[in-house]
Amino acid sequence: MRVSTRFSDSIHLLAFLKIYADQRLTSDLIASSIETSPVVVRRLMGKLRQAGLITTTPGSAQPALAKPLDQISLLTIFYAVEGDKPLFAVDPKTNPDCIVGGNIQTVLQQYYQDAQTAAEARLAKTSLQDIVDNILVEQAKKEALS
Amino acid sequence: MRVSTRFSDSIHLLAFLKIYADQRLTSDLIASSIETSPVVVRRLMGKLRQAGLITTTPGSAQPALAKPLDQISLLTIFYAVEGDKPLFAVDPKTNPDCIVGGNIQTVLQQYYQDAQTAAEARLAKTSLQDIVDNILVEQAKKEALS
DNA sequence: ATCACAGTAATTAATCTAGTTACAGGAGGC
DNA sequence: GCCTCCTGTAACTAGATTAATTACTGTGAT
């Protein structure tokens, strides 16, 4: 698994805050939707809070989105919870006395960065609003069938 | 680390086969350039052979590229050694009875795939020829300075 | 004061990667 | 044939990362 489910779970969490805004948003309730533990949820919320995406109140179950949905992109969320690690890793330890080993890192770095940037540009195009909209559409489809 | 150094090391290995084609290409020699063990090199070569990128002879140190350099893209190599796993993981276990948990996987799947496809398109644009050319250019720069 | 909850550290278990050891079998020289 | 060097692989080990769990401190509301 390349990128941990932290990213996926964080999107889930933020969408949950919006769609169930009328509920008491305890970490327990959120955890039951993600099917994880409340501690994992609180840790995720900690990262999202540090990134300025949500506000929380210690002791009180009232997390809230800090920005409008359409101003939170998937890329913003990605950086909040996973952004410190590159998607593609360059082997940092190769033989500097070899023509290949001595130059491969420099060469790969640029191509890897290009590929990562292309993926990030895609993530930047999608907002949490798109995610929430799509979730509601999918839900409506299900209900139409039942 | 998202993508293991297998990818990076495989590119290294293939470039090495080209640049040092005049040497006895034992797994030991290649390993000394990547700074890993000969077994790791032979395992990588196994995957590259299965993918049709190189030919090898059991018992004899003569691995060779199976295609022209410009017909091997970074994407081909990526698939050969890492291609079975997505770059972004969707949490497979969420609560189906929740509007978010029940639909998030379907929704994220598409966006994740788009991001991965964008990265892959970038990798497809670069060939092993580009890598080898760049390595030789970098090496020439170093030699010019000394 | 009490109760429900957030925030967070520490530990555990599962998974993945890379490295190592070990060994079976092919290639080629003698 | 036999010896040596090599590939191909399996099995095991060590380290890193993730997610889950336990346990605790401290806040907010009643």
What does the pLDDT average to over B54-76? 97
What is the distance in angstroms between the Cα of A26 and the nearest Cα belonging to chain B? 15
What pLDDT digit, counting tens, does each position of A111-126 carry?
Answer: 999 999 999 999 999 9
**Domain A5-145 has what CATH class?**
mainly alpha
Angle made by CA atoms A60, A63, A67, in degrees to the nearest 5: 150
**A55-64 LR contacts (CB < 8 Å, sep 24+):** A61/A24, A61/A25, A61/A26, A61/A27, A62/A25, A63/A17, A63/A25, A64/A17, A64/A21
- Give B 94-133 residues with CB within 8 A of chain A: 94-95, 98-104, 106-108, 111, 114-116, 118-123, 126, 130-131
**Which of A90, A104, A116 is the closest to B119 by Cβ?**
A116
- CB-side neighbour CA atoms (13 Å) of B123: 22
**Which of B100, B126, B135 is the closest to A33 by Cβ?**
B100
For the question of an ipTM over 0.90, the answer is yes
Is B9's CB within 8 Å of A91's CB?
Answer: yes
Q: Is the pLDDT reported for residue A1 higher than 50?
A: no
According to the model, what pLDDT value does residue A3 have?
66
Q: How many helices (H) and strands (E) does chain A have?
A: 6, 2
Residue B61 approaches strand D within 7 Å at CB: yes
A54: nearest nucleotide, CA–C1' criterion: C6
Of A40, A87, A49, A46, nearest to B112 (Cα)? A87
Helix A5-19 vs helix B104-125: crossing angle, to nearest 10: 140
Phi, psi of B92 (to 5 degrees): -80, -10
What pLDDT digit, counting tens, does each position of A53-69 carry?
Answer: 999 999 999 999 999 99
